[in-house]
Chain A
């Protein structure tokens, strides 16, 4: 029943997109009917530049995400394990975290111009915090009794990380990856749009300034589809990895 209703809702949405501009509620200059948008999409898909742009966006997204996750996990575990560090860095993290990544745009432009580097700077900065926070929550969640036991058995810090910290923190790490993946996509496209580095965002900007309205909307739809795909992928990964994981921890509200 849920699925039927959901489909009906989606169908209604598509219908509205088609009818509202045709009927004239909104000028078709500002919002072309869905059929026109889909037509523009079909044209886009046939060009090599489109796929190049998709590839560029995905490259910036995946590379930035990878760097952010690795950095976030390493720093997060390090700061989380040493109890003194956690306490002392809390204020710094609380200050740096809310700094909007877009504040770095001018710097990115200066240093990297319109290269992939600009995209990466923004993506990594924004995604890193998502991962870091979750990883630190995860490390904090390690059972202190288990830690004591491990230490009393003479387990070195590396083995403690491998056998105790990592399994406990894993669900949180995956939550962090999921949140970071979404943020990374947003920032990648933002960088492309505002700075002009290669990718879908850039293409959207060009379409808009060139007056190709239907194409612009078509590309916007593509970004939406990408967003949904990224989200689904992340959730799939989470489920797969945690399928055999004994813990059932929920997401910590950030």
Chain B
């Protein structure tokens, strides 16, 4: 019983303490920029959980979902192609390294030329940012498929599509997962930026509107919401990772334990 209590304590003690400090120090705050936490929390509801949720939050999340999914499919497909051949890899590497070094937000004005300021542009921005960690990590994962496992597949004549799914993709999945994790955080950033820069609706757009019209408290609720979103998505990724890579974590634990 005490073990469970202790575990709960370790998780919530510091956050609660920090929140308490924030609450108390901001309570008497007359600072323009920092409204009392109590006020922020009470307005949170009114600001977000109404029509605005459907008009702004949902479209943003949908764009993120679509953009990320496209990046995942394209990134893995291209990554497998590039990673499977040493020649192709050497050929593409410098170009890929250069392209991925371009800060993704910079592509917002570029893509605006092609796609205006609508949904297409935003989705394209997300895809163009998210694809890099996925692609590059897939290449790494495919490259590092175990030699002995590969020969085993040849011996038992496991080839073609079966080899791709049962060997290559599974073997590369830890790397791909690492790329997915990075892609999710980049995706959120790009979703917000594309909306802050040029948009007519969305989470980022709404928050920046609050700031421009000096609705400070509402602005803070927006920041809070973004924080929660980031946190929830990271939990989701962690959950997927635990499920899909159960074998990987188990294997690592066994090997590390033997150290």
A contacts B directly (C-beta below 8 A): yes
Asked whether B106 lies within 8 Å of A193 as measured between CB atoms, the reply is: yes
A189 CA to B223 CA in the complex, in Å? Answer: 21
Contact with A along B81-100 (1 / 0, CB 8 A): 00000010011111101111
Asked whether B193 lies within 8 Å of A107 as measured between CB atoms, the reply is: no
A21 CA to B188 CA in the complex, in Å? Answer: 32
B-facing residues in A58-97 (Cβ within 8 Å):
87-92, 94-97
Asked whether A91 lies within 8 Å of B10 as measured between CB atoms, the reply is: yes
How many residue pairs between the two chains, A and B, have CB atoms under 8 Å in the bound complex?
A: 164
- Chain A residues positioned under 8 Å from B258 (CB to CB): none
| Residue B11, interface by CB 8 Å | yes
| Residue A190, interface by CB 8 Å | yes
- Chain B residues positioned under 8 Å from A224 (CB to CB): 98-99, 101-102
For chain B, what secondary structure do more than half of its interface residues adopt (helix, strand, loop), or is it mixed? helix
Shortest distance between the CB of A188 and any CB in chain B (Å) = 8
| Residue A157, interface by CB 8 Å | no
The residue of chain A having its C-beta at the shortest distance from the C-beta of B227 within the complex is A99
| Residue B53, interface by CB 8 Å | no
| Residue A236, interface by CB 8 Å | no
Known: A89-B14, A106-B223. 8 other contacts (CB 8 A): A9-B92, A88-B10, A106-B211, A110-B33, A110-B216, A186-B103, A204-B106, A223-B106
Which B residues lie at the A interface, using CB under 8 A?
A: 10-15, 18, 33, 87, 90-95, 97-110, 112-114, 174, 178, 181, 185, 188-189, 192-193, 196-197, 204, 207-208, 210-211, 216, 219-220, 222-223, 226-227, 230-231, 233-234
Which A residues lie at the B interface, using CB under 8 A?
A: 1-2, 5-10, 12-13, 29-30, 87-92, 94-107, 109-111, 185-186, 189-190, 193-194, 201, 204-205, 207-209, 213, 216-217, 220, 223-228, 230-231, 253-254
